[in-house]
Structure 1
């Protein structure tokens, strides 16, 4: 007998994007006895009304919980604690899910009963209005892009500690994993719409270290909304800084001071950015410089 599936969506003051995601889910195909749970995290906009308006259009029950304490990790933990399903899949509030996504999640666990977690592909939902440089993955590519992407090809495989670790936007797990290893770190993750993160990667890493098994299932497909206003150098530099900072915070050892090589890396990247005359090269090193200082700041804060 197939296990019950809950799709968990955590959201903060993004009613319009949430309405878009729920509209796509209204067209999706679900396994029997599935549901959707939306956790409104310190929302002051029309999120509750958006959820109520979507209920009659969805083929499965839709529940709403409210978590007043700001922070995505708080919302995730509140949602997980309220779920009695055997399977939980995470959907971001700005995603366009593939029509067969819910079925793909259920099929992944049925096909791999030894899997404790499964992940799938996240692709940017490009519209053609984005600047050309975002597609440059050869000479001086800019990363991390402000549009998440996780694509390990069209062959399923096991993902170990060596990674690459998925984010939480297209991750599913057996509820017992949460019960056994605990929830998402409330020291990590975004609060409101800031650029913090890594609560999902830390959770996956903790699960793998506890002996849980993670399977990549490419048929699980979601598309991430592309916010053109985020495709600016300043935004990407801020993203690189915060992403590197949070990654080091959950991966670093107990040492109190930065290793010397980080100072050298920051100095070298800064110098390359200063002397580069070719704009794509300068942009590349400016972003790498921001990331290097983000790594250093993880030890200073």
Structure 2
């Protein structure tokens, strides 16, 4: 039997009700000429998720793994020994790929041997039209919903988003792993976001080059609660925590001034009806609070005497 040339990986937790729609989309994929493998890691589900996945074993080239200890990156690391082929494709359990998704990623990897990191288009799959106050002018849909649209071509690691990313398998064979200190772990709803971002930034800093394949498209399922202001503000905070914890050096005076200014403005706007302006200010307030929460305290730079 011919070895597949690429492996798709995602982890899931307690998604028994939603997974059939996702797995049906995967079952409709056009296989690349060299074949593919799907590895799903059940990350401690207790709702029958594993049984739902197993029910698709006759439709998909499927390997099901179990990682009982919660932690998305822990689950992804568990899957790495199962990689087959030269391309590891990572996605999420709420993604609907276009039928030619893998064909497009395979073509990009074959056509651009100079690149080790690959990304593709991510579009929101809305449950209903977004309300007027939920505007791209107010908040970054890239942060909220992993939306990514751009032309094909060389790209920075920051252009590649978790629901649609691929990495040369040789990088993992050489020992690279996902950082288990970041991302959802089932213990803290205000976890530091940025699990795939942390890995990609590390690889980009090490000199690995990226390529964006615009025709490799997936849709990211948006749940109704993800269009509510409370969820959006919580996500802004988690995003800030990840930025502060992983990339900031210290808590600066400038950040403190902005934090106070946005906090005062956000409190005043909280009593007004929803609007793009209100969302923008309140979102920025929660993001700054997250950055401050994730950053170390400002070091004492004063001189003795």
TM-score by length of 1: 0.89
2:230 aligned residue: 234
- 1:194 and 2:189 matched: yes
Conserved in 2, the CA contact under 8 Å of 1:86 and 1:176? Answer: yes
Of the structure 1 ranges 281-290 and 190-199, higher mean CA displacement relative to structure 2 is found in 190-199
Residue correspondence of structure 1 range 1-301 to structure 2 within 5 A: 4-31=5-32, 32-58=34-60, 61-134=61-134, 136-138=135-137, 140-141=138-139, 146-152=144-150, 155-160=151-156, 164-180=158-174, 182-192=176-186, 194=189, 196=191, 197-253=193-249, 255=250, 258-276=251-269, 279-280=274-275, 281-299=277-295
Paired residue secondary structure (1:272): helix
Distance (whole Å) between structure 2 residues aligned to residue 94 and residue 104 of structure 1: 20
Shift of 1:9: 1.6
Distance 1:181 1:247, change over 3 A: farther
CA contact (8 A) 2:118 2:213 kept: yes
Query: Residue 182 of structure 1 aligns to a residue in which SS?
Result: coil
- SS of 1:50's equivalent? helix
Contact 1:144/1:239, CA 8 A, preserved across alignment: no
Q: What CA distance in whole angstroms lies between the structure 1 residues aligned with 2:26 and 2:148?
A: 21
Give, in whole Å, the separation in 1 of the partners of 2:142 and 2:257.
Answer: 21
Asked whether the equivalents of residues 126 and 226 of structure 1 are also in contact (C-alpha less than 8 Å), the reply is: yes
Distance between the aligned counterparts of 2:143 and 2:159, measured in 1? 16
Contact 1:119 1:170 in 2 (8 A): yes
1:113-137 deviation digits (Å, cap 9, x = unpaired)? 1110100011101243432333x23
Matched residue SS, 1:108: helix
Instruction: Please say if residues 181 and 207 of structure 1, whose CA atoms lie closer than 8 Å, have aligned partners that are also in contact.
Output: no
Structure 1 residue matching 2:182: 3-state secondary structure: coil
**Matches of 2:145 and 2:24, distance apart in 1:** 21
Contact 2:127 2:224 in 1 (8 A): no
Secondary structure of 1:15's counterpart equals: coil
CA distance in structure 1 between the aligned counterparts of 2:273 and 2:142, rounded to whole angstroms = 20
Tell me, yes or no, if the aligned pair for 2:119 and 2:164 is still in contact at 8 Å: yes
1:182 deviates by 1.4
CA distance in 1, matches of 2:31, 2:132: 37
Confirm or deny: 8 A CA contact 2:89 2:167 kept in the other structure: yes
Q: CA deviation at 1:279?
A: 4.2
Gaps of 5+ in 2: 298-305
Cα offset, 1:90, TM superposition: 1.1
Is this contact kept in 2: 1:87–1:175, CA < 8 A? yes
Deviation at 1:70, TM superposition (A): 1.0
Cα deviation digits, residues 80-119 of structure 1 (max 9, x gap) = 1222321111121011111100111111101111110100
2:301 corresponds to: none
SS of the residue corresponding to residue 198 of structure 2 reads: helix
- 1:140-193 CA-to-partner distances (Å, cap 9, x unmatched) read 3466764221112xx212223xx6442221000111112336111110011139
TM-score scaled to structure 2, two decimals? 0.88
